[in-house]
Structure 1
Amino acid sequence: MSVTPPPSSPGSGRGAFEAALRGLCPRCDNKTLFAGPVRFAARCRACGLDFSAFNVGDGPAAFLTLGVGALLTALAVWLELAVEPPFWVHLLLWVPTGTIAVIGSLRVAKALLLVLEYRRGASEARLRDRA
């Protein structure tokens, strides 16, 4: 199945980041991209675009986890030096904040990659038979 966007695709009118942030289908702009917190739906319920044809993978996960971890570590060190709260305050503050930040940023990053793949017509490389 071809995933190349038609020239007058309604989804091409929105910015890629906005479409990713809202979980919009890149073809029809309906909010059908996700079936779970970071899991894509198999296909768009409105236009039938097959999301499994896109190879987004979990590439952004390591970078996002490291970036969010570095930011939260810096904030935790600052809080410790400035206020010296008890250890349980750090647990109650940073564990949920880190979890929400990683899942939220992973959702947006994966959706952004899918939207950009669709809009650029990107696909897996195929070797031609040279018989």
Structure 2
Amino acid sequence: MATGSVSLAKAMWRGFRGKCPNCGEGHVFGRFLKVADTCDHCGEELFHHRADDFPAYLVIVVVGHLVVPAILAVETAYAPPVWLQLAVWLPVTLFASLALLQPTKGAIVGLQWQVGMHGFEAAKRRREAAQLAPVLVKAARR
């Protein structure tokens, strides 16, 4: 198990990279979008996540906000034929969406893990207790 506190940003970044939010070493995904039941490095349970459709909504918003202005800029500046616009922007949209979907889902799993959402409450309590234990031991020695 990882020692110390893992910040929200660090947990989400680890998830974004497809790594376990707890240790940063194991893999979050067993397949493309299937979250592993447990981390293959530290054993942290990951099956509690409830990412559902939220990662897909975020990807739609991000890709839409990047692709639509690009389409409008190209249309305004060059006015290419519609077939060329479709030939360029449909694959760009598809590949951008697929490229962002897994990292976004990993970041959402990292967020849920760090905050203690859904079934991650027990893991959060364990982390908080482990973090508090050395302080209590030092106080008891005085």
Q: Distance in 2 between matches of 1:72 and 1:53?
A: 34
TM-score by length of 1: 0.70
Uncovered stretches (5+) of structure 1, i.e. residues with no partner: 1-5, 125-131
Bigger CA radius of gyration: 2
2:85 counterpart residue number = 90
- For residue 67 of structure 2, the aligned residue among 69, 72, 76 is 72
Q: Which runs of 5+ in 2 are unaligned?
A: 120-142
Of Structure 1 and Structure 2, which has the larger fraction of its residues in helix? 2
Whether 1:23 and 2:18 are equivalent positions in the alignment is: yes
2:37 equivalent among 32, 42, 51: 42
TM-aligned CA deviation for residue 56 of structure 1: 1.6
Q: CA deviation at 1:87?
A: 2.6
Matched, 1:118 2:113: yes
Aligned length: 118
Secondary structure, aligned partner of 2:47: helix
User: Normalization by structure 2: what TM-score?
Assistant: 0.66
Could you tell me the percent identity over the aligned residues?
25
Whole-Å Cα distance in 1 between the matches of residues 111 and 19 of structure 2?
Answer: 12
Q: Which moved more, 1:73-82 or 1:60-69?
A: 60-69
Q: Which runs of 4+ in 1 moved over 4 A?
A: none
Q: Give the corresponding residue for 1:100.
A: 95
Q: Which residue of 1 aligns with 2:133?
A: none
Deviation at 1:116, TM superposition (A): 1.8
Q: Deviations over 1:18-73 (max 9, x none)?
A: 31231110122124112333332232222222321122211232243144224312
